[in-house]
Amino acid sequence: SIAGPHPTGGCSPGNHGNHHREKPEAILTLNHLKAGDTFYAFIEAASDDFAPVLVLCDYGEKPLRSAKLSGVQTNATLYFF
């Protein structure tokens, strides 16, 4: 799954679906990836007062890759292969 943002920068069960100010965390379950597949994700904040975070997790909620755990940019990009 891919999540963003989480206070610890990790993965956790929680809100699913769209991401907005009232629900600052969104967890999306991905389709099955096969060996050799590459996953790309991009997130952009609608305003300057929010710094987005992307965290790609395995089925055991272990973070595999993260993007933008600090800083002030309003977007983040993650890829995993």
**Hey, CA dihedral for 23, 61, 76, 35, is it positive or negative?**
negative
* 25-74 pLDDT per residue, tens: 777 777 787 888 888 888 887 777 777 778 888 878 888 888 876 666 77
64 contacts 78 by C-beta, under 8 angstroms:
no
Q: Which two tokens stand for residue 24?
A: 């600052």
Residue 45: give the domain boundaries.
1-81
Question: Number of folded domains in the chain?
Answer: 1
Full-model pTM: 0.57
Among 54, 51, 52, 73, which Cα is nearest to 65's?
54
* 4-37 pLDDT per residue, tens: 444 444 555 444 444 455 656 777 777 787 888 8
